[in-house]
Amino acid sequence: MNVKTLVITTVLSGLSVLGWTQNKITLNADLGKDTIHPHIYGHFAEHLGSCIYGGIYVGENAKIPNQEGIRTDLIQALRELKVPQLRWPGGCFADTYHWKDGIGPKSSRPAIKNVWWGGVTEDNSFGTHDFLNFCEAIGADPYLAGNVGSGTVQELADWVKYTNHESGSPMTDLRKENGREKPWKAKMWGVGNEVWGCGGNMKPEYYANIYRQYATFMTDWVNSDRLFRVASGANVADYHWTEVLMRDIPHHMLEGVALHHYSFVEWEKKGSATQFTEEQYFKTMKTALRMDELVTRHSTIMDKYDPARKIALVVDEWGGWYEVEPGTNPGFLYQQNTMRDAMIAGVTLNIFHKHASRVRAANIAQMVNVLQAVLLTNEEKIIRTPTFHVMEMYNVHQGALHLPIDLQCNEYKVGVEMLPAISASASRDKSGRIHISLVNIDPNSSQDLKLDLRGWKVSTVQGRLLTSDKVQDYNTFERPDKIKPIPFKGANLKNNELTLQLPPVSVVVLELK
């Protein structure tokens, strides 16, 4: 290194220590090879609190406008969002759910106790037909979670026949008797949920054997169902779990391996969803950004057994988890949704894009009124949360070609700890437009950013911005549009280089043509 280079490097690293690193993104528009699978934008609806009952399903005789019992305001909102895939009926509930309780005349369905969530009565009025018709109404692919913990192989095999086969079995006759002639052809099936915990407290070696047995009978052999079967995956950083599944399950029986990871302040002391300190915000973002490390390390193990990446990593539960809203049932997991959640959504989806070759499905937990919900309802009212807006702004990435980027950015510091202030991702859609999603998680500083566009000539740029004064801000039933996307006019284009400023706690999605 000569003296001049040494001086420049020293000055630059000094500036970086002082927080003056220039934020810079180099976008490699000619280097994309992986498609961002739309299913990464999947949702999750469990029989938990008011997610299904009240949130999605109100019944045909309700005053709230509905289509076969499903709220029409919700259907409209979910169509805006372009929900590609929806997981149901749980969660922990799935391993207590017996699907035959939820078919046939509603008045003769048995009522059960929801032992996982609040001990409330579950009358089974929302069942298989309701769920699969709901998926059709919103244009989402269904993802059914089978009961392994307390069910039987026969029960799950019957469910596949009931939903997917044309004719030729008592199950197909039963479906027709219940008013549905044509099968729904549901491809995606979970074989148990969290079987290391609420799904049966199993060891991975035992579960791998059980999985093989269940997966064998989830097909009719003659006319293969071509299911996408997902093994119940690791809890956060349980890498041994992934190793055993990849080693012990024959790969022709396995299309996906799940992973669950939630963001929180401290698991034992989650804190309020809305009244949190900057330190608590920082800790939440640190767990959210850990998704990158988790996905990388689980993928590395999968690569060892499946170098061609045929088996998907399916992050079928992710999102922020806080204390419930004061005065609500602790078993219902109802929480508000602030700009902190918008930050979690923005960075998490960017991480999934980066790993598009392995992460080919994911599910935010959950769709309505539970955990990091995109929609909150109160009787006839419905509001879109900041998380809704991020997922709607980002839906331009669904099915697009992921474009790799090099990102150099400032740190967001609290005390002695630091996180990258900016998260970014880019893709090119089928019509040739490039979209760049940018997140500034720093609640105190805006970020000036330069974007160098390699391998592509840009002529126009437009964008949308989601931000608010405070990271604790949220939408209420009284002020449903306090936080919503607005046009972003701050991008300047010169010589194929873009300069812009990201406000504190903001999400920007740019469209380049």
Q: Near ligand AHR by CB under 6 A, which window of 15-23, 32-40, 90-98, 416-424?
A: 90-98
Strands (E), 125-255: 141-146, 188-191, 228-235
Which active-site residues does the annotation give? 194, 317
Provide the β-strand partners of residue 413: 418
Q: Which of 23, 96, 163, 193 binds ligand AHR (CB under 6 A)?
A: 193
Residues 6+ apart with CB under 8 A from 263: 284, 285, 287, 288, 318, 319, 320, 321, 344
End-to-end CA distance of the chain: 41
Strands (E), 29-83: 42-44, 66-67, 70-71
Smallest distance from the beta carbon of 94 to ligand AHR, in angstroms?
A: 8
Q: Is 372 in the site for ligand AHR (CB under 6 A)?
A: no
Q: Is 92 in the site for ligand AHR (CB under 6 A)?
A: yes
Spell out, one character per residue from 352 to 371, where the chain touches ligand AHR: x when CB under 6 A holds, - when not: -------------xx----x
Smallest distance from the beta carbon of 367 to ligand AHR, in angstroms?
A: 11
State residue 88 phi and psi, 5-degree precision.
-165, 150
CA-nearest of 4, 51, 28 to 366 is 51
Nearest to ligand AHR of 31, 115 (CB atom): 115
Rounded CA separation 145/96 (Å): 11
Q: Is 89 in the site for ligand AHR (CB under 6 A)?
A: no
Nearest to ligand AHR of 341, 473 (CB atom): 341
Smallest distance from the beta carbon of 351 to ligand AHR, in angstroms?
A: 19
Q: Is 122 in the site for ligand AHR (CB under 6 A)?
A: no
Nearest to ligand AHR of 116, 228 (CB atom): 116
CA-nearest of 423, 101, 97 to 289 is 423
Q: Is 157 in the site for ligand AHR (CB under 6 A)?
A: no
Judge contact between 405 and 27, C-beta under 8 A: yes
Smallest distance from the beta carbon of 44 to ligand AHR, in angstroms?
A: 7
Q: Which of 46, 122, 141, 473 binds ligand AHR (CB under 6 A)?
A: 46
In terms of DSSP bridges, do strands 447-454 and 497-502 run parallel, antiparallel, or are they unpaired? Answer: antiparallel
CA-nearest of 413, 428, 369, 233 to 314 is 233
Residues near ligand AHR (CB under 6 A), total: 10
Q: Is 316 in the site for ligand AHR (CB under 6 A)?
A: no
Smallest distance from the beta carbon of 52 to ligand AHR, in angstroms?
A: 13
Q: Is 341 in the site for ligand AHR (CB under 6 A)?
A: no
| The two structure tokens encoding residue 376 | 């909150």
Nearest to ligand AHR of 264, 394 (CB atom): 264
Rounded CA separation 1/243 (Å): 44
Nearest to ligand AHR of 58, 259 (CB atom): 259
Nearest to ligand AHR of 92, 218 (CB atom): 92
Rounded CA separation 118/482 (Å): 32
Q: Which of 69, 89, 91, 443 binds ligand AHR (CB under 6 A)?
A: 91
Q: Is 90 in the site for ligand AHR (CB under 6 A)?
A: yes
Provide the β-strand partners of residue 28: 454
Q: Is 508 in the site for ligand AHR (CB under 6 A)?
A: no
Smallest distance from the beta carbon of 440 to ligand AHR, in angstroms?
A: 28
Which residue type, as a one-letter code, is found at position 138? I
Smallest distance from the beta carbon of 489 to ligand AHR, in angstroms?
A: 39
Q: How many CB atoms lie within 10 A of CB 419?
A: 17
Rounded CA separation 451/341 (Å): 26
Provide the 3-class DSSP secondary structure of residue 267: coil
Nearest to ligand AHR of 198, 215 (CB atom): 198
Q: Which of 317, 341, 392, 473 binds ligand AHR (CB under 6 A)?
A: 317
Rounded CA separation 241/253 (Å): 17
Question: Which residues of the shown chain bind ligand AHR in the complex (CB under 6 A)?
Answer: 46, 90-92, 193-194, 317, 365-366, 371
